[in-house]
Structure 1
Amino acid sequence: MRNRLPPLNPLRAFEAAARRASVAGAAQELHVTASAVSHQIRILEESLGVTLFVRSKARVKLTREGEALLQPVKGAFDMIANAVVKLDSPEVVGNLVVSTPLLFTARWMARHIGEFLDRHPGINLKVIPSNDDREVYSPDVDLCVRYGEGRWRDRHVTMIDHPALFPVVSPALMNGPNAIRKLDDLAGKALFCEHSGSWMRWLAQASADKLEGLRILEIGNAHIGIEAAVHGQGVALGDSFSVRDDLEDGTLVRPFSLTVPSRHAYYLVTPHELSDMPLASAFAAWLNDKVG
């Protein structure tokens, strides 16, 4: 069996491109050119005798064969990464201050942070829920998760996830006489968001931006809008990263399949001098494992 294993570099290129749905994103992660990633994927496809991706100008989509290969390959890389972390850092000890946006903190980190604490019992973690860029340059903050354009001067920046945007509602709003089953049913409902422009982009893509009776409510923070949707108060525009746990456990549902790409992405931002230090590296490795 082992003599049929493909070489490592093509597998790494395939896994990164599949996880990010982007050759350019994989190239950024692997610190190579996009053409080098494409070349490695072609080598793997030729080696296996199958096509792994359906390619478009900006994104790539897995074929059936690609989907079958991804999970075993990803699982193998995760096992190797975890083993290396344990070898290199049997116990990381110290104080770590992390600043993360409220949406990220409340809807994702609060559900998973226990795994990080179990993995690193010697780390005393402090979390600041904020998306204020002043903390990116604060000497009192070790690393930041930020939702933005990815440009922070004099900082090491790594993309975590580039989400898609789509409406989400409580399952209660999918039943009864006022259920949301078609685009016209959005009229008269409270459409929650942080900035109205995101909702307008989605509505325009759905050819529903001229509906009469639209009520777009800017509610200060995306987390508050999503929480309002959870409690059946209206429809929130969620991003695929922040609401994925809600969708998996049935707290929220998607009334429509249409998505639009977010204008921004989630990034891990650290001072260059801290990016390779054990505390920051431990958090970055855990985050990469979970998000991947």
Structure 2
Amino acid sequence: MRYGTPPFDGLTAALIEHAALIPVCTPGLAAAHDLAAGPDKLAGAVLLHDAHGLWPTWLERFAARDVDAGHGMRFSQTTLALDAAIRGQGVALAPASLIEDELASGRLLAPYGRERALVEAAGLYLVAPPGRRPAEVEAMWAWLLEEAHGV
């Protein structure tokens, strides 16, 4: 699987889902910065950036005018930004589908819910080299897509 926007060099891709990116942090950090009061409160929190760099887009879309989109910590991968969020180091922007368990357990909180999700062209894709795949791989490919799409 790969997150991004195709085409992916040398790979065939099938969309599993478009990413719905939501801000997440620990409940304690959300309370300490009163994040429930609105996106402008992010000005007092550390933004955890991943390589996709979508905080400026999210902040603009949801009218967080007083927040410096460039401040915060930078990570090369989304999972590293999420690890920092789980440790209470700031607020990460993450695909909702990747953090279901953390939200359900209460380790992370989405202070603005899913109503303020940034849905971009990028998504989660099933990828494989082009050409004929062995029957077992083809069966797994079909099953994964059925599960993802509820077909």
TM bin, normalised by shorter chain, reads 0.7 to 0.9
Query: Using a 3 Å threshold, how does the CA distance of structure 1 residues 249 and 287 change in structure 2: closer, same or farther?
Result: farther
- Pick from 170, 177, 181 the counterpart of residue 36 of structure 2: 181
- Identify, as 1 or 2, the structure richer in helix: 1
Are residues 1:273 and 2:128 paired? no
Question: Is the aligned partner of 1:254 residue 2:110?
Answer: yes
Q: Note the alpha carbon deviations across 1:125-146, whole angstroms, 9 max, x for none.
A: xxxxxxxxxxxxxxxxxxxx12
Shift of the alpha carbon at 1:154? Answer: 6.0
Query: Is contact 1:188–1:215 with CA below 8 Å preserved after alignment?
Result: no
The 8 Å contact of residues 165 and 240 in structure 1, kept in 2 or not, is answered as yes
Query: What residue ranges of structure 2 are gaps of 5+ in the alignment?
Result: none
* Other-structure match for 2:28: 172
CA distance 1:154–1:213, shift in 2 (3 Å): closer
In structure 2, how many angstroms separate the alpha carbons of the residues matched to 1:209 and 1:229? 23
1:242 to 92, 98, 117: 98
Largest Rg, 1 or 2: 1
For structure 1, list consecutive stretches of 5 or more residues without a partner in the other structure: 1-144
Query: What TM-score, normalized to structure 1?
Result: 0.44
Greater RCO (CA < 8 Å, at least 6 residues apart): 2
Letter in 2 for 1:202: W
Distance apart, 1:213 and its partner CA:
9.2
Return the alpha-carbon distance in structure 2 between the equivalents of residues 207 and 253 of structure 1: 21
In the TM superposition, what are the counterparts of 1:50-65 in structure 2 within 5 Å? none
Kindly tell me the number of residue pairs found equivalent between the two proteins: 145
Moved over 6 A (4+): none
What's the Cα RMSD here? Answer: 2.5
The Cα shift of 1:286 comes to 4.4
User: What are the Cα deviations for residues 68-119 of structure 1, in whole angstroms up to 9, with x where unaligned?
Assistant: xxxxxxxxxxxxxxxxxxxxxxxxxxxxxxxxxxxxxxxxxxxxxxxxxxxx
User: What is the TM-score of this pair, normalised by structure 2?
Assistant: 0.80
